[in-house]
């Protein structure tokens, strides 16, 4: 009878990781487009900011997912 509870925990972990990945991808995309096309920054600078915001967004999403 231990299988369903372990399966539920695995499914929950996949949902959390999906939430974190989606959150960081959306933040990176938003910042890249904002920097590149609205603020006319270089591609290298835009990618660096996108990476920075993706890491920060992943950290925030991780903290929220584990509440």
Residues in the chain: 67
Phi-psi category of residue 40: left, alpha or beta, with phi > 0 → left and psi -120 to 50 → alpha: left
Q: Is the pLDDT of residue 4 over 90?
A: no
Cα gap 18→65, rounded to integer Å: 10
pLDDT score, position 28: 98
- pLDDT, one tens digit per residue, over 26-50 is 999 999 999 999 999 999 999 999 9
pLDDT score, position 10: 76
Q: What is the residue-averaged pLDDT of the chain?
A: 91
Cα gap 27→50, rounded to integer Å: 7
- Could you give the residue ranges of the DSSP H alpha helices within the chain? 2-33, 43-65
Better-predicted residue by pLDDT, 5 or 39: 39
């Amino acid at each position: 009878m231990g299988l369903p509870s372990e399966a539920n925990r695995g499914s929950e972990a996949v949902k959390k990781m999906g939430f974190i990945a989606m959150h960081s991808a959306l933040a990176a995309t938003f910042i890249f487009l904002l920097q590149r096309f609205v603020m006319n920054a270089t591609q290298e600078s835009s990618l660096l900011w996108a990476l920075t915001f993706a890491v920060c967004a992943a950290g925030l999403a991780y903290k929220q997912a584990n509440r």
